[in-house]
Amino acid sequence: MNPMQIKIEEAKAKGKVGLIPFLPAGFPDREQFWTELAELDAAGASVIEIGMPFSDPVADGPVVEKASLKCLADGINLAWILTELKKRKGQFKAALLLMGYLNPVYQYGLDKFGKDCAEAGVSGLIIADMPLEESQFVKDAIAPHNVALVPLIGLNTTKERMKLYADGAQGFCYFVSVLGTTGQRESLPARIKEKLAEAKEVFDIPVALGFGIKHPDQLAEFEGLMDAAVFGSALISHIQSGNSSASFMEPWK
Amino acid sequence: MKKGYFGDFGGQFIPELLMPPLIELEEAMATILPTEEFQTRFTNMLKENVGRPSAITYCPNLSKDLGLDLWLKREDLNHSGAHKINNTLGQGLLAKMMGKDVLLAETGAGMHGVATTVAAAMLDMKAVIYMGATDVVRQAPNVNRMRLMGAEIVPVESGTKTLKDAINEALRRWLSDQETTHYCFGTAAGPHPFPTLVREFQQIISKEARQQFMDRNAGRLPDVVVACVGGGSNAIGMFHNFVPDESVELVGVEAAGTGEPGCYSSAPLDHGTDGVLHGMLTKLLQTVDGQIEPSHSVAPGLDYPGVGPEHAHLHATGRGHYVTINDEQAINAFKVLSRREGIIPALESSHAVAYAIENKDRLQGKSVLVCLSGRGDKDLGILDQIL
Ligand SMILES: Cc1ncc(COP(=O)(O)O)c(C=O)c1O
């Protein structure tokens, strides 16, 4: 079983939702980033999602975009991320996931990427600009290294497409809560429940809800319909205002 | 060949949340485009509103100066001033028949924004236009035209503040508004089916030009066909019906920017490498890490670090030749065509005209048919600063 799934199931066994915080690699700066990761890990994150910065992040809202562009300006690249993770392999209880866009991974070289992910202790990958139709060559390259491609689905994904995504999927399924980009929202669309129920039916791996989530109170209405929650923009804003990852995680414990 | 690919290039590299509207569009292409209702209405609009067929024009003075036969396909004579209108009326009508009521578009030079706004007004739809903040300033006349015709204009402040970033923001908007909104993509690039859809609407350029040229030249074909390449829509439209004619050399002209060593260009076919941006696998200007590099051209409509996948394919197979022209050469062509023939070309199209001027020695005695993709009124402000 993929470590991401194991970690989420562990949280579930304790009667909790799995926690999946997102931070762009190198945010807020090269050094502090590792402190934040350690805090998120210590606070019980199931999976830590590490952003691979890209110049043209079309699926991201302004908070994530700005943070990622700053990391890019600081010279963060895939080689840095994977080398630094390798040095720290085994230090995190949480499973590690890399999230980004295809082009940087494509330029890095898919086979090398899969191999280096394994050596760095990364067990999952999200590519925001890669739907089912294009995903096979990436899966083929990373599967031998036990790195799973996490499917992203949403409110407009038909049940038929969900089934295609579910076939052979590992780790967890990422359900995007809104038709839109990443970022905090005051309320989540009502249709989520019905579609989450569909996803729960189709996927035999955990289902995580993400985009627009900033506080555990928002999740009460989805109890039983999801297994984990992803939060990024809210965490980034919290850190930008001079607070720690540890304090962000408090209400989630 | 995989669906949506031209050889190794193309595809649908886009967030899953955009797949349903792309699939819906693909289905509409299959079911609505071939109907008599669509074809009749579209043909009528091209005739009554755009002024098609556009002329081809022989340039007697420049032909004599250069020692070749120079012909222009006059897309500049179209209503709203460029080839862009062929595509926006086609997509607008399709969207209307799909039941959408908003046309969303990105624009660089503003010509596609203007053409989308015209289509929206004609079809009683709303136009929402994303435009890089830099381009809002350098193409002010087009911004004014769009406002007058009722478009909502959204200046984009992120990234390089040009076309690339306008596309990013428009894609984000489309994610949210997909139920009511059609993304009227402005060039033969982006995720499948846009490269095919846009070519379908632009191939009328070569359909007309090929026949018109033969009618005027005792059934002969031109030796060389030339068009500028930003995303590549006027060029693919100009090439399409000549592709099977092996004797015809197809030349796409990319923008070299200032042309100085180390400067930014807008020439991904000449200077780029394979990569993925805006839903397509194509040639891109990028760093070794896969970050997209800023582009530059004096012509805002060419100022884009990528290119449509069909051009990447024509380039890879050698059927198309892709060359560069720099800002100074384009500005020279802008002046020369204005002075010698009384035709003021868009700065984009000036790159194509410049190819004939700069290569006159190689082209002696040949017939050269250039796509004059648009007119230069919009550029007089830029030229005021330079001339
Ligand atoms: C007059 C004109 N020509 C050419 C272009 C470049 O577009 P494409 O490469 O899609 O033909 C533009 C784009 O704005 C334009 O306005």
State pLDDT tens for residues B37-63. 999 999 999 999 999 999 999 999 999
Note down the domain range covering B13: 5-46+84-193
CA atoms within 13 A on the CB side of B213: 27
pLDDT per residue over A17-72, tens digit each? 999 999 999 999 999 999 999 999 999 999 999 999 999 999 998 899 999 999 99
Domain termination site, one of B152, B172, B193? B193
pLDDT per residue over A195-211, tens digit each? 999 999 999 999 999 98
Q: Is B82 strand, coil or helix? A: strand
- List b or e across B366-387, with b for residues whose CB sees 16 or more CB atoms inside 10 angstroms: bbbbbbbbbbbebbeebbeeee
**d(CA A46, nearest CA chain B) in Å:** 25
User: Which 8-state DSSP code applies to residue B47?
Assistant: I
pLDDT class of A178 with cuts at 50, 70, 90: confident
- Shared domain for B176 and B247, answered yes or no, is no
- Shared domain for B175 and B159, answered yes or no, is yes
- Shared domain for B313 and B206, answered yes or no, is yes
Would you put residue A230 in left (φ > 0), alpha (ψ -120 to 50) or beta? Answer: beta
What's the pLDDT score for residue B387?
A: 66
Q: What is the C-alpha separation between B213 and B169, in angstroms, rounded?
A: 41
- Shared domain for B182 and B290, answered yes or no, is no
pLDDT at B1 over 80: no
Domain termination site, one of B127, B158, B193? B193
- Shared domain for B376 and B275, answered yes or no, is yes
Q: What is the C-alpha separation between A48 and A21, in angstroms, rounded?
A: 5
Q: What is the C-alpha separation between B334 and B339, in angstroms, rounded?
A: 9
Q: What is the C-alpha separation between B18 and B12, in angstroms, rounded?
A: 10
Residues of chain B found within 8 Å of residue A129, distances taken between Cβ atoms: 13-15, 276, 279
> What pTM was estimated for this model as a whole?
0.96
In a mutational test of the pocket of ligand 1, which residue from B75, B77, B84, B201 has the highest number of ligand atoms less than 8 Å from its CB?
A: B84
pLDDT at A184 over 70: no
Contact A133 B19 (CB under 8 A): yes
> In total, how many domains does chain B have?
2
pLDDT class of B284 with cuts at 50, 70, 90: very high
Tell how far the Cα of A52 is from the centroid of ligand 1, in angstroms: 33
Domain termination site, one of B178, B193, B208? B193
What residue in A sits closest to B305 (Cα-Cα)?
A: A56
The residues of A carrying an active-site annotation are 49, 60
Q: Which of B79, B83, B192, B271 is catalytic?
A: B83
Q: Is B127 strand, coil or helix? A: strand
**d(CA B297, nearest CA chain A) in Å:** 20
- Shared domain for B58 and B204, answered yes or no, is yes
Q: Is the CB of B255 under 6 A from ligand 1?
A: no
Tell how far the Cα of B236 is from the centroid of ligand 1, in angstroms: 11
Whether B83 is a known active-site residue: answer yes
- Shared domain for B112 and B75, answered yes or no, is no
